[in-house]
Amino acid sequence: MNIRRVLFPAVILAISLSIALPSPVEAGLPALMDNQTLPSLAPMLERATPAVVNIATESRIASRRNPLLEDPVFRHFFNIPDQQLERKAQSVGSGVVVDAQRGYIITNHHVVEGADTITVTLRDGRKLNAKVIGSDSQSDVAVIQIPSSNLTALPLADTDNLRVGDFVVAVGNPFGLGQTVTSGIVSALGRTGLGIQGYEDFIQTDASINPGNSGGALLNLRGELVGINTAIIAPGGGNVGIGFAIPANMVARLMNQIVAHGSVRRGQLGVSVQDLTPDLARAFNIPASQGAVIAQVSPRSAAARAGLREGDVVLNINGRPIRDGSALRNAIGLVEVNEAVRLDILRDGKALTLDAKLGEYAPIRVDGKTVHPQLVGATLEEIGLNSPLAGRVQGVLVAEVESRSPAARTGLRKGDVILAMNQQRVTNPTDLQQLAASSNTLLINLLRGQEELVLALH
Protein backbone atom coordinates (compact mmCIF):
# COMPACT_ATOMS: atom_id res chain seq x y z
CA MET A 1 0.00 0.00 0.00
CA ASN A 2 1.51 3.30 -1.13
CA ILE A 3 0.38 6.08 1.20
CA ARG A 4 1.44 9.56 0.20
CA ARG A 5 1.18 12.89 1.87
CA VAL A 6 -0.18 15.36 -0.60
CA LEU A 7 2.49 18.05 -0.64
CA PHE A 8 3.53 18.99 -4.18
CA PRO A 9 7.05 20.05 -5.22
CA ALA A 10 6.91 23.17 -7.37
CA VAL A 11 7.96 21.81 -10.77
CA ILE A 12 6.81 23.39 -14.04
CA LEU A 13 5.85 20.86 -16.71
CA ALA A 14 5.83 21.85 -20.39
CA ILE A 15 3.47 19.67 -22.41
CA SER A 16 3.11 19.87 -26.20
CA LEU A 17 -0.24 18.76 -27.62
CA SER A 18 -0.39 17.34 -31.13
CA ILE A 19 -4.07 18.10 -31.64
CA ALA A 20 -5.83 21.40 -31.95
CA LEU A 21 -8.11 22.22 -29.05
CA PRO A 22 -11.41 24.00 -29.62
CA SER A 23 -11.76 27.55 -28.34
CA PRO A 24 -13.27 27.76 -24.86
CA VAL A 25 -16.97 28.61 -24.82
CA GLU A 26 -19.36 29.58 -22.08
CA ALA A 27 -21.26 26.51 -20.91
CA GLY A 28 -23.41 25.62 -17.96
CA LEU A 29 -26.81 24.52 -16.79
CA PRO A 30 -29.62 27.04 -16.66
CA ALA A 31 -30.45 28.44 -13.24
CA LEU A 32 -34.02 27.24 -13.61
CA MET A 33 -35.58 24.17 -15.19
CA ASP A 34 -39.31 23.64 -15.18
CA ASN A 35 -39.48 26.65 -12.85
CA GLN A 36 -37.38 24.77 -10.27
CA THR A 37 -33.98 25.98 -9.06
CA LEU A 38 -31.27 23.43 -9.80
CA PRO A 39 -29.12 22.30 -6.86
CA SER A 40 -25.65 23.84 -6.81
CA LEU A 41 -22.70 24.06 -4.44
CA ALA A 42 -21.77 27.46 -5.86
CA PRO A 43 -23.45 29.65 -3.20
CA MET A 44 -21.76 27.76 -0.35
CA LEU A 45 -18.39 27.79 -2.12
CA GLU A 46 -18.60 31.51 -2.81
CA ARG A 47 -18.78 32.03 0.96
CA ALA A 48 -16.21 29.40 1.95
CA THR A 49 -13.41 29.41 -0.63
CA PRO A 50 -11.98 32.84 0.34
CA ALA A 51 -10.87 31.13 3.58
CA VAL A 52 -8.82 28.47 1.76
CA VAL A 53 -5.33 29.66 0.80
CA ASN A 54 -2.41 28.45 -1.29
CA ILE A 55 0.93 28.06 0.50
CA ALA A 56 4.33 28.20 -1.21
CA THR A 57 7.49 27.43 0.76
CA GLU A 58 11.18 27.71 0.04
CA SER A 59 13.96 26.03 1.97
CA ARG A 60 17.68 25.38 1.63
CA ILE A 61 18.82 21.77 1.65
CA ALA A 62 22.40 20.59 2.05
CA SER A 63 23.65 18.78 -1.04
CA ARG A 64 25.34 15.42 -0.62
CA ARG A 65 29.00 15.33 -1.60
CA ASN A 66 31.81 12.80 -1.75
CA PRO A 67 32.49 11.32 1.72
CA LEU A 68 36.16 12.25 1.33
CA LEU A 69 35.15 15.90 1.42
CA GLU A 70 33.64 15.34 4.87
CA ASP A 71 37.02 14.26 6.26
CA PRO A 72 38.69 17.27 7.96
CA VAL A 73 42.19 15.79 7.41
CA PHE A 74 41.52 15.39 3.68
CA ARG A 75 40.16 18.95 3.43
CA HIS A 76 43.17 20.36 5.29
CA PHE A 77 45.71 18.44 3.20
CA PHE A 78 44.25 19.60 -0.12
CA ASN A 79 43.28 23.06 1.22
CA ILE A 80 39.59 22.54 0.47
CA PRO A 81 37.36 25.21 2.08
CA ASP A 82 35.01 23.97 4.79
CA GLN A 83 31.73 24.94 3.22
CA GLN A 84 28.56 23.06 2.52
CA LEU A 85 26.90 23.20 -0.88
CA GLU A 86 23.20 23.96 -0.77
CA ARG A 87 20.28 23.80 -3.14
CA LYS A 88 16.91 25.50 -2.95
CA ALA A 89 13.78 23.40 -2.59
CA GLN A 90 10.32 24.74 -3.31
CA SER A 91 6.96 23.16 -2.63
CA VAL A 92 3.31 24.08 -2.59
CA GLY A 93 0.41 23.15 -0.34
CA SER A 94 -2.79 24.57 1.08
CA GLY A 95 -4.15 26.05 4.29
CA VAL A 96 -7.36 27.24 5.95
CA VAL A 97 -7.99 30.55 7.71
CA VAL A 98 -9.71 29.68 11.00
CA ASP A 99 -9.30 32.98 12.90
CA ALA A 100 -9.72 36.11 10.79
CA GLN A 101 -9.08 38.50 13.70
CA ARG A 102 -5.64 37.08 14.50
CA GLY A 103 -4.76 35.83 11.02
CA TYR A 104 -4.35 32.18 12.06
CA ILE A 105 -4.16 29.54 9.35
CA ILE A 106 -4.26 25.78 9.90
CA THR A 107 -2.15 23.60 7.61
CA ASN A 108 -0.09 20.41 7.77
CA HIS A 109 3.21 20.21 9.65
CA HIS A 110 4.85 18.64 6.60
CA VAL A 111 3.81 21.61 4.42
CA VAL A 112 5.86 24.13 6.43
CA GLU A 113 8.50 21.87 8.02
CA GLY A 114 11.99 23.28 7.50
CA ALA A 115 10.73 26.21 5.41
CA ASP A 116 12.88 29.35 5.36
CA THR A 117 10.15 31.43 3.75
CA ILE A 118 6.37 30.87 3.59
CA THR A 119 4.19 32.80 1.14
CA VAL A 120 0.39 32.65 1.42
CA THR A 121 -1.76 33.52 -1.59
CA LEU A 122 -5.37 34.44 -0.83
CA ARG A 123 -8.36 33.86 -3.09
CA ASP A 124 -8.35 37.56 -4.04
CA GLY A 125 -4.75 37.32 -5.27
CA ARG A 126 -2.99 38.93 -2.30
CA LYS A 127 0.41 37.40 -1.45
CA LEU A 128 1.44 37.63 2.22
CA ASN A 129 4.45 36.42 4.16
CA ALA A 130 3.57 34.03 6.98
CA LYS A 131 5.31 32.99 10.18
CA VAL A 132 5.00 29.68 12.00
CA ILE A 133 3.27 29.91 15.38
CA GLY A 134 3.95 26.25 16.13
CA SER A 135 3.47 22.74 14.82
CA ASP A 136 3.11 19.13 15.89
CA SER A 137 4.78 16.44 13.81
CA GLN A 138 2.95 13.62 15.61
CA SER A 139 -0.46 14.77 14.35
CA ASP A 140 0.82 16.67 11.26
CA VAL A 141 -0.89 19.92 12.29
CA ALA A 142 0.69 23.38 12.11
CA VAL A 143 -0.52 26.92 12.79
CA ILE A 144 0.87 29.83 10.77
CA GLN A 145 -0.05 33.51 10.90
CA ILE A 146 -0.50 36.28 8.33
CA PRO A 147 -1.48 39.95 8.75
CA SER A 148 -5.17 40.02 9.73
CA SER A 149 -6.70 42.41 7.23
CA ASN A 150 -9.95 41.64 5.40
CA LEU A 151 -9.71 37.89 5.96
CA THR A 152 -12.47 35.29 5.77
CA ALA A 153 -12.43 32.41 8.27
CA LEU A 154 -14.17 29.05 8.16
CA PRO A 155 -16.31 27.87 11.09
CA LEU A 156 -15.42 24.41 12.44
CA ALA A 157 -17.99 21.63 12.36
CA ASP A 158 -18.58 19.24 15.26
CA THR A 159 -17.11 16.11 13.69
CA ASP A 160 -18.56 13.89 16.42
CA ASN A 161 -21.78 14.22 14.42
CA LEU A 162 -20.18 13.33 11.07
CA ARG A 163 -21.55 10.17 9.44
CA VAL A 164 -20.42 7.86 6.68
CA GLY A 165 -22.29 8.94 3.57
CA ASP A 166 -22.33 12.68 4.35
CA PHE A 167 -21.47 14.81 1.33
CA VAL A 168 -18.15 16.67 1.54
CA VAL A 169 -16.15 19.04 -0.64
CA ALA A 170 -12.34 19.23 -0.83
CA VAL A 171 -10.73 22.59 -1.58
CA GLY A 172 -7.00 23.03 -2.13
CA ASN A 173 -4.13 23.69 -4.52
CA PRO A 174 -3.51 20.39 -6.36
CA PHE A 175 -0.32 20.22 -8.44
CA GLY A 176 0.14 23.96 -7.86
CA LEU A 177 -2.69 24.73 -10.30
CA GLY A 178 -4.43 27.16 -7.97
CA GLN A 179 -7.61 26.79 -5.96
CA THR A 180 -9.58 23.71 -7.03
CA VAL A 181 -12.80 22.17 -5.73
CA THR A 182 -13.80 18.49 -5.81
CA SER A 183 -16.71 16.68 -4.16
CA GLY A 184 -17.52 13.27 -2.74
CA ILE A 185 -18.76 11.62 0.43
CA VAL A 186 -17.36 10.50 3.76
CA SER A 187 -16.23 6.95 3.00
CA ALA A 188 -15.19 5.92 6.52
CA LEU A 189 -14.44 7.36 9.96
CA GLY A 190 -11.77 6.67 12.57
CA ARG A 191 -9.15 5.30 10.21
CA THR A 192 -6.02 4.35 12.18
CA GLY A 193 -2.96 2.17 11.82
CA LEU A 194 -1.93 3.62 8.45
CA GLY A 195 1.54 4.57 9.66
CA ILE A 196 1.28 8.10 8.24
CA GLN A 197 1.78 9.85 11.56
CA GLY A 198 1.88 9.21 15.28
CA TYR A 199 -1.74 10.09 16.11
CA GLU A 200 -4.30 8.93 13.55
CA ASP A 201 -8.08 9.26 13.58
CA PHE A 202 -8.71 10.04 9.93
CA ILE A 203 -11.82 10.85 7.96
CA GLN A 204 -11.65 8.88 4.72
CA THR A 205 -13.21 10.43 1.63
CA ASP A 206 -13.50 9.77 -2.10
CA ALA A 207 -13.46 13.51 -2.89
CA SER A 208 -10.48 13.85 -5.22
CA ILE A 209 -7.32 14.84 -3.28
CA ASN A 210 -3.99 15.19 -5.06
CA PRO A 211 -0.43 16.41 -4.39
CA GLY A 212 -0.66 20.06 -3.33
CA ASN A 213 -3.93 19.54 -1.42
CA SER A 214 -2.04 19.04 1.86
CA GLY A 215 -3.44 21.40 4.48
CA GLY A 216 -6.54 22.19 2.44
CA ALA A 217 -10.14 22.11 3.59
CA LEU A 218 -12.69 19.30 3.67
CA LEU A 219 -16.08 21.03 3.95
CA ASN A 220 -19.62 19.93 4.64
CA LEU A 221 -22.53 21.33 2.63
CA ARG A 222 -22.99 24.13 5.19
CA GLY A 223 -19.49 25.39 4.38
CA GLU A 224 -18.08 24.31 7.73
CA LEU A 225 -14.60 22.81 8.09
CA VAL A 226 -14.85 19.09 8.85
CA GLY A 227 -11.21 18.18 8.22
CA ILE A 228 -7.72 19.12 7.03
CA ASN A 229 -6.71 17.10 3.96
CA THR A 230 -3.47 15.27 4.66
CA ALA A 231 -2.73 12.09 2.70
CA ILE A 232 -3.86 9.73 -0.03
CA ILE A 233 -3.38 6.10 -0.97
CA ALA A 234 -1.79 6.34 -4.39
CA PRO A 235 -0.66 3.04 -5.94
CA GLY A 236 0.10 4.76 -9.25
CA GLY A 237 1.14 8.12 -7.80
CA GLY A 238 -2.22 9.86 -8.34
CA ASN A 239 -5.67 9.97 -6.82
CA VAL A 240 -7.67 6.73 -6.72
CA GLY A 241 -10.50 7.95 -4.50
CA ILE A 242 -8.98 7.16 -1.09
CA GLY A 243 -8.01 10.32 0.75
CA PHE A 244 -7.61 11.14 4.43
CA ALA A 245 -8.34 14.25 6.48
CA ILE A 246 -7.69 15.14 10.13
CA PRO A 247 -11.07 15.73 11.88
CA ALA A 248 -11.91 19.32 12.82
CA ASN A 249 -12.49 18.44 16.50
CA MET A 250 -8.98 17.04 16.72
CA VAL A 251 -7.58 20.07 14.87
CA ALA A 252 -9.33 22.50 17.23
CA ARG A 253 -7.86 20.95 20.38
CA LEU A 254 -4.38 20.79 18.91
CA MET A 255 -4.59 24.36 17.63
CA ASN A 256 -5.52 25.68 21.08
CA GLN A 257 -2.37 24.12 22.54
CA ILE A 258 -0.13 25.25 19.70
CA VAL A 259 -1.35 28.85 19.99
CA ALA A 260 -0.95 28.80 23.79
CA HIS A 261 2.42 27.03 24.01
CA GLY A 262 3.92 26.89 20.51
CA SER A 263 3.66 23.10 20.64
CA VAL A 264 1.39 20.31 21.88
CA ARG A 265 1.92 19.38 25.54
CA ARG A 266 0.47 15.90 25.63
CA GLY A 267 -0.49 14.39 28.93
CA GLN A 268 0.70 10.85 29.55
CA LEU A 269 -1.32 8.05 31.10
CA GLY A 270 1.67 5.70 31.35
CA VAL A 271 0.30 2.47 29.88
CA SER A 272 0.85 0.20 26.93
CA VAL A 273 -2.32 -1.21 25.39
CA GLN A 274 -3.62 -3.75 22.92
CA ASP A 275 -6.94 -4.24 21.16
CA LEU A 276 -9.69 -6.25 22.82
CA THR A 277 -10.08 -9.24 20.51
CA PRO A 278 -12.91 -11.80 20.75
CA ASP A 279 -10.39 -14.32 22.13
CA LEU A 280 -9.30 -11.93 24.88
CA ALA A 281 -12.92 -11.10 25.70
CA ARG A 282 -13.66 -14.81 26.15
CA ALA A 283 -10.50 -15.26 28.21
CA PHE A 284 -11.48 -12.36 30.48
CA ASN A 285 -15.09 -13.62 30.54
CA ILE A 286 -16.45 -10.16 29.72
CA PRO A 287 -19.31 -9.18 27.41
CA ALA A 288 -17.51 -6.23 25.75
CA SER A 289 -16.92 -6.47 21.98
CA GLN A 290 -14.60 -3.47 21.71
CA GLY A 291 -12.19 -1.64 23.96
CA ALA A 292 -8.50 -1.36 24.85
CA VAL A 293 -6.76 -3.85 27.13
CA ILE A 294 -4.13 -2.49 29.51
CA ALA A 295 -1.03 -4.60 28.87
CA GLN A 296 1.44 -2.71 31.07
CA VAL A 297 1.29 0.08 33.67
CA SER A 298 4.39 2.17 34.31
CA PRO A 299 5.33 2.62 37.98
CA ARG A 300 4.58 6.08 39.43
CA SER A 301 2.59 7.01 36.32
CA ALA A 302 -0.83 8.69 36.15
CA ALA A 303 -2.37 5.28 35.48
CA ALA A 304 -0.68 3.75 38.54
CA ARG A 305 -1.84 6.64 40.75
CA ALA A 306 -5.41 6.25 39.45
CA GLY A 307 -5.42 2.53 40.31
CA LEU A 308 -5.41 1.19 36.75
CA ARG A 309 -4.17 -2.41 36.51
CA GLU A 310 -2.88 -4.73 33.84
CA GLY A 311 -5.80 -6.66 32.34
CA ASP A 312 -8.28 -3.81 32.81
CA VAL A 313 -10.37 -3.08 29.69
CA VAL A 314 -10.98 0.60 28.95
CA LEU A 315 -14.41 1.15 27.39
CA ASN A 316 -14.82 4.93 27.53
CA ILE A 317 -12.71 8.04 28.18
CA ASN A 318 -14.66 11.13 29.24
CA GLY A 319 -17.81 9.43 28.00
CA ARG A 320 -16.47 8.70 24.52
CA PRO A 321 -16.33 5.05 23.41
CA ILE A 322 -12.90 3.47 22.95
CA ARG A 323 -12.93 1.02 20.05
CA ASP A 324 -9.35 -0.24 20.31
CA GLY A 325 -5.83 0.58 21.46
CA SER A 326 -5.34 3.26 18.80
CA ALA A 327 -8.54 5.04 19.87
CA LEU A 328 -7.31 5.12 23.47
CA ARG A 329 -3.94 6.48 22.42
CA ASN A 330 -5.58 9.17 20.26
CA ALA A 331 -7.98 10.18 23.04
CA ILE A 332 -5.15 10.58 25.55
CA GLY A 333 -3.00 12.33 22.94
CA LEU A 334 -5.51 15.21 22.77
CA VAL A 335 -5.47 15.81 26.52
CA GLU A 336 -3.08 18.40 27.94
CA VAL A 337 -0.66 17.84 30.81
CA ASN A 338 -2.31 18.05 34.27
CA GLU A 339 -5.79 17.65 32.78
CA ALA A 340 -8.04 15.01 34.36
CA VAL A 341 -9.77 12.21 32.46
CA ARG A 342 -12.50 9.79 33.53
CA LEU A 343 -12.08 6.17 32.46
CA ASP A 344 -14.90 3.63 32.36
CA ILE A 345 -13.34 0.19 32.62
CA LEU A 346 -14.14 -3.47 33.09
CA ARG A 347 -12.16 -5.37 35.72
CA ASP A 348 -12.91 -9.05 36.22
CA GLY A 349 -16.22 -8.49 34.44
CA LYS A 350 -17.26 -5.63 36.76
CA ALA A 351 -17.76 -2.02 35.67
CA LEU A 352 -15.60 0.61 37.40
CA THR A 353 -14.92 4.31 36.91
CA LEU A 354 -11.48 5.77 37.62
CA ASP A 355 -10.21 9.34 37.46
CA ALA A 356 -6.65 10.03 36.33
CA LYS A 357 -4.73 13.30 36.23
CA LEU A 358 -2.37 13.06 33.31
CA GLY A 359 1.32 13.66 33.89
CA GLU A 360 4.10 14.81 31.63
CA TYR A 361 6.34 12.24 30.00
CA ALA A 362 10.02 13.14 29.73
CA PRO A 363 11.79 10.52 27.59
CA ILE A 364 15.49 9.84 28.00
CA ARG A 365 17.24 12.02 25.40
CA VAL A 366 20.86 12.56 24.48
CA ASP A 367 22.60 14.93 22.11
CA GLY A 368 24.23 13.07 19.23
CA LYS A 369 27.52 14.86 19.88
CA THR A 370 27.91 12.83 23.08
CA VAL A 371 27.89 9.66 20.95
CA HIS A 372 30.03 10.52 17.90
CA PRO A 373 31.25 13.69 16.10
CA GLN A 374 29.33 12.69 12.96
CA LEU A 375 26.10 12.61 14.98
CA VAL A 376 26.32 16.28 15.97
CA GLY A 377 22.91 17.85 15.24
CA ALA A 378 20.90 14.72 16.04
CA THR A 379 18.70 14.21 19.10
CA LEU A 380 18.36 10.56 20.15
CA GLU A 381 15.43 9.42 22.26
CA GLU A 382 14.10 6.27 23.89
CA ILE A 383 10.90 4.72 22.54
CA GLY A 384 8.36 5.29 25.33
CA LEU A 385 5.18 3.37 26.11
CA ASN A 386 3.03 5.96 24.36
CA SER A 387 5.06 5.96 21.16
CA PRO A 388 3.36 4.36 18.12
CA LEU A 389 6.52 2.24 17.88
CA ALA A 390 6.15 0.84 21.41
CA GLY A 391 5.89 -2.94 21.39
CA ARG A 392 6.64 -3.07 17.65
CA VAL A 393 10.25 -1.89 17.43
CA GLN A 394 13.11 -2.10 19.92
CA GLY A 395 15.76 0.57 19.49
CA VAL A 396 16.52 4.28 19.79
CA LEU A 397 14.48 6.91 17.94
CA VAL A 398 16.15 9.72 16.00
CA ALA A 399 13.87 12.48 17.30
CA GLU A 400 15.44 15.46 15.52
CA VAL A 401 18.10 16.13 12.89
CA GLU A 402 19.24 19.69 12.28
CA SER A 403 19.53 20.64 8.61
CA ARG A 404 23.06 21.01 7.29
CA SER A 405 24.48 19.35 10.44
CA PRO A 406 27.08 16.54 10.43
CA ALA A 407 24.28 14.09 11.32
CA ALA A 408 22.26 15.23 8.30
CA ARG A 409 25.27 14.90 6.01
CA THR A 410 25.87 11.41 7.36
CA GLY A 411 22.43 10.46 6.04
CA LEU A 412 20.51 10.27 9.32
CA ARG A 413 16.86 11.36 9.14
CA LYS A 414 14.23 12.30 11.67
CA GLY A 415 12.11 9.21 12.41
CA ASP A 416 14.90 6.70 11.84
CA VAL A 417 15.25 4.01 14.52
CA ILE A 418 18.72 2.82 15.51
CA LEU A 419 18.39 -0.93 16.04
CA ALA A 420 21.99 -1.87 16.76
CA MET A 421 25.49 -0.46 17.00
CA ASN A 422 28.54 -2.56 16.18
CA GLN A 423 26.23 -5.59 15.92
CA GLN A 424 24.89 -5.13 19.46
CA ARG A 425 21.21 -4.38 20.05
CA VAL A 426 20.32 -1.06 21.72
CA THR A 427 17.23 -0.10 23.70
CA ASN A 428 18.01 3.42 24.95
CA PRO A 429 20.39 6.32 24.21
CA THR A 430 22.68 5.33 27.08
CA ASP A 431 23.46 2.07 25.25
CA LEU A 432 24.71 4.12 22.29
CA GLN A 433 27.00 6.22 24.47
CA GLN A 434 28.52 3.15 26.12
CA LEU A 435 29.12 1.31 22.85
CA ALA A 436 30.58 4.38 21.16
CA ALA A 437 33.04 4.89 24.02
CA SER A 438 34.71 1.56 23.26
CA SER A 439 35.24 2.03 19.50
CA ASN A 440 36.22 4.79 17.09
CA THR A 441 34.48 3.15 14.12
CA LEU A 442 30.75 2.65 14.49
CA LEU A 443 28.49 0.44 12.40
CA ILE A 444 24.86 1.50 12.85
CA ASN A 445 21.84 -0.61 11.82
CA LEU A 446 18.85 1.61 11.04
CA LEU A 447 15.16 1.07 10.44
CA ARG A 448 13.63 3.64 8.07
CA GLY A 449 10.00 2.88 7.45
CA GLN A 450 10.01 -0.75 6.39
CA GLU A 451 13.61 -0.69 5.15
CA GLU A 452 16.76 -1.58 7.10
CA LEU A 453 19.96 0.36 6.37
CA VAL A 454 23.55 0.37 7.58
CA LEU A 455 25.67 3.48 8.26
CA ALA A 456 29.41 3.41 8.93
CA LEU A 457 30.84 6.25 11.03
CA HIS A 458 34.60 6.78 11.21
203: part of which helix (H) or strand (E)?
strand 202-205
| Per-residue pLDDT, 12 | 36
Contacts of 426 (CB under 8 A, 6+ apart): 395, 396, 418, 419, 420, 432, 435
Grade residue 70 by pLDDT with cuts at 50, 70 and 90: low
Q: What is the mean pLDDT of residues 161-168?
A: 94
Domains 1-8+43-264 and 267-360 share a fold: no
Q: What is the mean pLDDT of residues 307-319?
A: 91
Domain boundaries, the chain: 1-8+43-264, 267-360, 365-457
Grade residue 174 by pLDDT with cuts at 50, 70 and 90: confident
Q: Is the dihedral of CA 68, 70, 72, 77 positive or negative?
A: positive
272 is catalytic: no
How many Å apart are CA 357 and CA 301, to the nearest integer?
10
| Per-residue pLDDT, 25 | 42
Q: Please say if the pLDDT value at position 235 is more than 80.
A: no
Chain segment 261-277, per-residue pLDDT in tens: 888 888 888 888 888 88
Grade residue 17 by pLDDT with cuts at 50, 70 and 90: very low
Tell me which residue of 323, 268, 324, 274 sits closest to 298, measured CA to CA. 268
Q: Annotate 82-151 with three-state secondary structure.
A: CCCCEEEEEEEEEEEEEECCCCEEEECHHHHCCCCEEEEECCCCCEEECEEEEEECCCCEEEEECCCCCC
CB-based contact 132:108 (threshold 8 Å): no
Grade residue 77 by pLDDT with cuts at 50, 70 and 90: low
CB-based contact 115:95 (threshold 8 Å): no
Average pLDDT, the chain: 82
List 109, 137, 140, 326, catalytic entry: 140
Looking at domain 365-457, does it have CATH number 3.30.565.10?
no
**Among 111-120, 250-259, 409-418, 431-440, whose mean pLDDT is lowest?**
431-440
List 214, 298, 326, 387, catalytic entry: 214
Tell me which residue of 290, 389, 292, 287 sits closest to 332, measured CA to CA. 292
Classify each residue of 372-406 as buried b or exposed e, where b means 16 or more C-beta atoms within 10 Å of its C-beta.
bebbbbbbbbbbbbbbbebeeeebbbbbbbeeebb
437: part of which helix (H) or strand (E)?
helix 429-437
CB-based contact 139:91 (threshold 8 Å): no
**Higher pLDDT, residue 284 or 94:** 94
Q: What is the mean pLDDT of residues 63-76?
A: 54
| Per-residue pLDDT, 20 | 35
Conformation bin of residue 439: beta by default, left when phi > 0, alpha when psi is -120 to 50: beta
Q: What is the mean pLDDT of residues 234-254?
A: 84
| Per-residue pLDDT, 391 | 64
How many Å apart are CA 183 and CA 106, to the nearest integer?
21
CATH class of 1-8+43-264: mainly beta
261 is catalytic: no
In the chain the first and final C-alpha atoms are separated, in Å, by: 37
Chain segment 324-363, per-residue pLDDT in tens: 888 888 888 888 888 899 999 998 888 899 999 998 766 7
| Per-residue pLDDT, 21 | 35
Q: What is the mean pLDDT of residues 358-374?
A: 82
Q: What is the mean pLDDT of residues 396-406?
A: 87
Percent of the chain with pLDDT over 90: 33
344 is catalytic: no
> What count of other Cβ atoms lies within 10 Å of the Cβ of residue 349?
11
Contacts of 25 (CB under 8 A, 6+ apart): none
Q: What is the mean pLDDT of residues 442-447?
A: 87
Q: Please say if the pLDDT value at position 296 is more than 80.
A: yes
Side-chain-facing half-sphere of 281: CA atoms under 13 Å: 14
Looking at domain 267-360, does it have CATH number 3.30.450.370?
no
**Higher pLDDT, residue 416 or 299:** 416
List 109, 110, 206, 208, catalytic entry: 110
Q: Tell me how far CA of residue 176 lies from CA of 57, 77, 211, in angstroms.
A: 12, 47, 8
| Per-residue pLDDT, 415 | 85
Q: Please say if the pLDDT value at position 99 is more than 90.
A: yes
Percent of the chain with pLDDT over 70: 83
**Among 34-48, 54-68, 78-92, 154-168, whose mean pLDDT is lowest?**
78-92
Tell me which residue of 215, 247, 236 sits closest to 105, measured CA to CA. 215
DSSP letter for each residue of 336-369: BTT-EEEEEEEETTEEEEEEEE-EE----EEEGG
